[in-house]
Structure 1
């Protein structure tokens, strides 16, 4: 399998055009899955969801977006698994109640 990680979309297009292969046919090599859930910073969450800071916090208040976890005083992070679950169906996602 070819590894195209780290290339820009323009570089991928150039490679796919050169080989007469569409971008849809190129499979990016996946990194091994860790058994540990990593924490994402707010800037990473904004990057992967394309939501703004205000929209994320408004959605959390309404129960439509995962809440961050307190990592240490003054530091919070979102569980990557929670963001992935939200991305599966953002319109229908709701915070799971503990009751």
Structure 2
């Protein structure tokens, strides 16, 4: 699996086990990585950044 690929919301919710609304709330609180805007209506997240976030959560 390419660690630096861009993932979209459906895959993100599956990977982190959080709902869309929880992810957006955590972004607003500064507790979750912000998305990368790919176009006006499209956004995604770098898989490497999400994996780092998951690893940091496990060490807490």
Normalising by the smaller structure, the TM-score range is 0.7 to 0.9
Question: Matches of 1:84 and 1:91 in 2, distance apart?
Answer: 11
Could you tell me which runs of 5 or more consecutive residues in structure 1 were left unpaired when the two chains were aligned: 1-30, 93-99
- Give the aligned partner of residue 70 of structure 1: 37
* Count of aligned residue pairs for this structure pair: 60
TM-score by length of 1: 0.54
TM-score by length of 2: 0.86
- Give the aligned partner of residue 80 of structure 1: 47
User: Larger RCO: Structure 1 or Structure 2 (Cα < 8 Å, ≥ 6 residues apart)?
Assistant: 2
Q: Alignment partner for residue 52 of structure 1, among 19, 28, 50?
A: 19
Could you tell me which runs of 5 or more consecutive residues in structure 2 were left unpaired when the two chains were aligned: none
1:90: Cα distance to partner? 2.3
